[in-house]
Amino acid sequence: MQTCQIRQSFWAKLKRLLPFDNTFFICGLFIVFMMSFLAVFAPFISGYDPNDLTSHILLPPSAEHFLGTDALGRDVFARLLYGGRVSLWVGFVSVGISISIGIVLGLLSGFLGGIVDELIMRLVDIMLCFPSFFLILAVIAFMEPSLNNIMIVIGFTSWMGITRLVRAETLSLKERDFIAAAKLAGSSKLKIMFRHILPNALAPVLVSATLGIAGAILVESSFSFLGLGVQPPEPSWGNMLLEGKEVMEVAWWLWLFPGLSILITVLGYNLLGEGLRDILDPRLKNR
């Protein structure tokens, strides 16, 4: 009887944490978890080193090589898993950079107002005048193609939306009674911004960050496909697509599986972001 009660209590807590009635959230969470699991445990799952050369060149999917081999005899499944590591790392690091910049600038702009707000918002307007992809392309053209450069450039060119979100939330929150109480208690401006306002302004940032990871993965794949991102022999879904393009008529598996990996991963993060938006927005939740 006691075991049954404990089990019911566990499921009740789990249902509160995970809204099972939100299909977008559950599907997105499952996809993100599975892709992350495969990427993290790639050395234990793949069975091959991603750069090991074999005598089986352009071998179709078989029992020995689950997703076939490429033009150099390398196992496609192993390279796909290790390429997932690159894509997820780029997504998390670049979004982490953009969120850090966006939160700081958004808080300063919304809370301080005046000339600080004007300067930050004009900077945001200037950055938004340039299409993101071409802005990143222009910067990358003057830098050495590498994974670190891709992450830094994506992060430093995608903070504007976060800044606007945090600024809007800050403008609303700073007029609330609990902020007035914090000021009367003698709290410093930094303490009010980062301890009282920021935790209450993170909901839209969380949604934007989830969608931003999907965007960063697409950008990294695009630049790797153009030869400006991750450089061979390090595997990336983008440069795997580039290699598959050369032999696409005779080796369909070289472009199909990297393309599906990008599609499924980006779809997962987009579904997760949509689900989080529905959960965190009371108006959408009630509707």
pLDDT confidence of 187, banded at 50, 70, 90?
A: confident
Query: Per residue in 199-233, pLDDT tens?
Result: 888 888 888 899 899 999 998 898 888 888 888 88
The proportion of the chain whose per-residue pLDDT surpasses 70, expressed as a percent, equals 90
**The pLDDT of residue 196:** 85
Query: Per residue in 77-133, pLDDT tens?
Result: 999 999 999 888 998 999 999 999 999 999 999 888 889 999 999 999 888 887 777
Domains of the chain, CATH where assigned = 28-286 (1.10.3720.10)
Closest CA relative to residue 85, chosen from 267, 269, 261: 261
Give the span between the Cα atoms of 88 and 86, in whole angstroms: 6
Count Cβ atoms below 10 Å from residue 181 Cβ, excluding itself.
Answer: 11
Q: Which residues of 243-254 are buried (b: 16+ CB within 10 A; e: fewer)?
A: bbeeeeeebebb
Question: Which pair of tokens denotes residue 269?
Answer: 């993060």
**The pLDDT of residue 5:** 44
